[in-house]
Structure 1
Amino acid sequence: MSVETAVHAALDRVDAETERVDSLTPAFRRFDAAVRDLDPVGSHASSSGEPTRLADGGITAAHHHDRQPGRPGTPDGAAGVTGNAGVAGGAEAADRTGSVRDAFAETVLSARDEGSNASDASAAAVVRAIRSEFGDEIAVVLAPGTDAGFTPAVKRAVRSAIATRRAELRALRDALDRERESLRSAREDVDAIVSWIARADETPLSDLGFEALRDRHETLERHRERCAERLESRQETLGSATGHGADAGLTHRSLVAHLYDVDGFPTPYPVVSTVVRLIDCCESCQRSVRDHLTRRV
């Protein structure tokens, strides 16, 4: 017998989020390649290679704290880019930032809004998406009509933000794999216990002898212990963290909030709520068995 529980719904949610991450990951790689190959305004330096440190010490690995998984903030070092970039090359600068927006729309935005036509997205919609991925500073320097041009500093800031998002996605993907493993183990326990209870209920307690009743009570106790062990294992998983470097660290508890503490999902803690209900069910069954046992003494 199989009963759909919050654990089963959680597995579906994890699969959907994994599919989203797997779609975004190559999109960010393509976006980074497009930005890398775009020459900045006012510079003849090579645009290839990894993001580098600015002369003033900014634009290196960005730090993101207290953020939902997949919802980045503003990279450290990006602050001040708008003020330092200035007007660079007039129409040429506008054309370069427009090329960056176009590349973002064709890669990341297209992956985010699967099935939509990126070429139909308005500039405002693209900038809103850029802001949601990289924060306000990057959105400002890439927005149409701003004074900032696509200078070397802006290019480094954009590529640094992309690198950070790619690290975040890797950490998120690892955390999703860990969550799937935890959910599958919980589902195995839940399905086994629910199936046993369903089979046991086919025989009324009144038809069982003393020994059979005692065996049933002991089996229910073992199921309760198994549930308690599952709760302990789940708490260990919730307290764990996944990271690709300090900048992309992700606590498992924050992942769970991102996945399940949303409108439309039955509970923010699918494993804990399901297992606790199962423990209550086992305790109720044990009380009924004990009631019958006392009548046989």
Structure 2
Amino acid sequence: MSVETAVHVAFDRVDAETDRVDSLKPAFGRFDARVRDLEPVGGRSSSSTGPTRLADGGIAAAHHHSRQSGSPGTADDAAGSDRRIRTIRNAFARTVLSARGEGTDASAVAVVRAIRSEFGDEIAVALAPGTDARFTPAVKRAVRSAIATRRAELHAFRDALDRERESLRSARTDVDAVVSWIASADETPLSGLGFEALRDRHETLERHRERCAERLEARQATLGSATGHGAEAGLTHRSLVSHLYAVDGFSTPYPVISTVVRLIDCCESCQRSVRDHLTRRV
């Protein structure tokens, strides 16, 4: 991969990931609406009750209560709850799974596996087939709370992608300018330049080297920051970059830094060659 290509490929990667997030965000909104409109067994969940947090044990407590209750309607409730949970899995497949590009006709096992990857083990168990799980108000609140958390994470991730794109745009401008100048300058061999022309080339190389050094410093500052809601979501820009570029097509998760460092080395090497020719003219 050429010096400048790494930054251009990084730009394409960010665009692709942005498209993915922009597809997922409304999909989670549609999924939440479907869960919201589904009445749980045992009565409609109160809108005044706050969301159930997984750490509060809301799901486990609800399941324990359903197993201990021996009311005559338990069998009917269990059948209705199973239908509701199946409805939720189907809604997840039609919304989130479809947006992930995995189709809407996936098996129940594949759907539950995807639910686990998005929401964690407790939600996956609560929505899995073949269990004694019941779609109680507490379970409904826990599922909607998990959806809200995931949507907040996607919002933070989208903010981070916007910042990454802006950082890449600035880096691409600098890299393209330096690479273009070096390619043009190389068309004239140093042996064909006089003393003044050699000195001008050395000074221009120094300006390009300084420009790259400034870009390197700016990039490192970006990597050390959190973006938008990132601090709340636990998202640092460095973790975003590692996620984006630790894939096939990238020899390093830091393509901008790698590219700029190579350009700095190139400028310094060219300067040494120019100085060598300058000393010969003195």
Under a length normalisation based on structure 2, what TM-score does the superposition of the two structures give? 0.91
One-letter amino acid matched to 2:269: S
Instruction: Report which of the two structures shows the higher radius of gyration computed on alpha carbons.
Output: 2
Matches within 5 A, 1:55-70: 59-60=52-53
For 1:125 and 1:42, the matched residues in 2 are separated by: 29
Q: Is the 8 A contact 1:164 1:247 kept in 2?
A: no
Q: Is the 8 A contact 1:14 1:180 kept in 2?
A: yes
Q: Is the 8 A contact 1:206 1:292 kept in 2?
A: yes
Q: How far 1:249 moved relative to its partner?
A: 3.6
For 2:262 and 2:48, the matched residues in 1 are separated by: 51
1:254-296 alpha-carbon deviations (Å, 9 max, x no partner): 1001101224423210110000000111111111101100010
One-letter amino acid matched to 1:84: A
Is 1:90 the equivalent of 2:78? yes
RMSD: 1.8
> How many residue pairs get matched?
271
Structure 1 99/183 Cα, relative in aligned 2: closer, same or farther at 3 Å?
A: same
Equivalent residue of 1:174, what SS? helix
Is 1:285 the equivalent of 2:270? yes
Matches within 5 A, 1:74-113: 75-77=54-56, 79=57, 81-85=59-63, 86-87=66-67, 89-113=77-101
Structure 1 215/236 Cα, relative in aligned 2: closer, same or farther at 3 Å?
A: same
1:45-78 alpha-carbon deviations (Å, 9 max, x no partner): 45xx58724xxxxx24xxxxxxxxxxxxxx544x
Q: How far 1:103 moved relative to its partner?
A: 0.6
For 1:244 and 1:191, the matched residues in 2 are separated by: 32
Q: How far 1:156 moved relative to its partner?
A: 0.3
Q: How far 1:242 moved relative to its partner?
A: 2.1
Aligned to 2:164: 179
Structure 1 16/83 Cα, relative in aligned 2: closer, same or farther at 3 Å?
A: same
One-letter amino acid matched to 1:40: P
Matches within 5 A, 1:199-218: 199-218=184-203
Aligned to 2:50: 52
Aligned to 1:259: 244
Unaligned stretches of 5+ residues in structure 2: 68-73
More deviation in 105-114 or 11-20? Answer: 105-114
Under a length normalisation based on structure 1, what TM-score does the superposition of the two structures give? 0.87
For 2:219 and 2:28, the matched residues in 1 are separated by: 32
Q: How far 1:187 moved relative to its partner?
A: 0.5
For 2:169 and 2:18, the matched residues in 1 are separated by: 15
Q: How far 1:149 moved relative to its partner?
A: 0.5
More helix by percentage = 2
Aligned to 1:64: none
For 1:279 and 1:182, the matched residues in 2 are separated by: 18
What percentage of aligned pairs have identical amino acids? 78
Aligned to 1:161: 146
Equivalent residue of 1:90, what SS? helix
For 2:135 and 2:242, the matched residues in 1 are separated by: 37
For 1:184 and 1:40, the matched residues in 2 are separated by: 49
Structure 1 259/21 Cα, relative in aligned 2: closer, same or farther at 3 Å?
A: same
One-letter amino acid matched to 2:250: F
**Which consecutive segments of 4 or more residues in structure 1 shift more than 4 A?**
none
Q: Is the 8 A contact 1:30 1:107 kept in 2?
A: yes
For 2:171 and 2:230, the matched residues in 1 are separated by: 29
Q: Is the 8 A contact 1:175 1:242 kept in 2?
A: yes
